[in-house]
Amino acid sequence: MTVGRLLLWRHGRTAFNATARLQGQVDIPLDDVGRWQARTAAAAMLVRHTPTRVVSSDLGRARETADPLARMTGVEVETDERVRERAFGEWEGLSGPEIAERWPQEFALWRAGGEPERVGAETRLEVAQRTAAAIDEHAQRMTREETLVIVSHGAAISSAVAELMGLPADWRALAGMHNAHWAELVPSSSGVAPAWRLVGYNLGPTDASADWNAGPDRTDEHEGGSTRDPD
């Protein structure tokens, strides 16, 4: 038996996202926009789905993203460090230009699709295997009538999707996922490979703001104008 629907939900925006810094496993909180994104995305998710179990990465930004969904559904959030973001070692907290200046060859290799070496980063295969193993374990404890939400991170989610669909770890056809958006997968029929099918990717409340990464739109241009907020 396995869960009937799987939602892999990326956390909301952080200050590092806003300034294009590589986060990896740095435990940084959501910023104000990220908290608004989490609330807005949770409300949008509940229009179509009824989560019966929510499992979050142990990193603060994922746990903060899960909180509004838990509040709206009454489902308690569990944590699992296996669905945390890919570790990038010495690169964590740095911008692309800073990495390129200090590690020009490794950065060029990474940008071309290779694996950075000698910086302490996890490989894509390592991330894919640990995230997919965790997801499968949680999914197998549920029934076809249930919906599992995994609150995770951009690189971790794309790696997990590839692994769950039987694709190689270096498969890079998926675009980056927006903050507080999700991928939706359903199990294949018994004995059919791959075990999961991708229903949608980068799903979420894209119409909630003219610029999702800038935060909620004001209804007028005057100070104190109201904003769109589902909470």
Q: Give first-to-last CA distance, the chain, whole Å.
A: 35
Distances (CA, A) of 106 to 24, 93, 119, 143, 224: 17, 17, 9, 44, 48
Active-site residue 101, yes or no? Answer: no
Say which of 11, 138, 153, 181 is annotated catalytic.
11
Q: Cα separation of 63 and 196, whole Å?
A: 25
Say which of 85, 92, 146, 163 is annotated catalytic.
85
Active-site residue 92, yes or no? Answer: no
Positions marked active-site: 11, 85
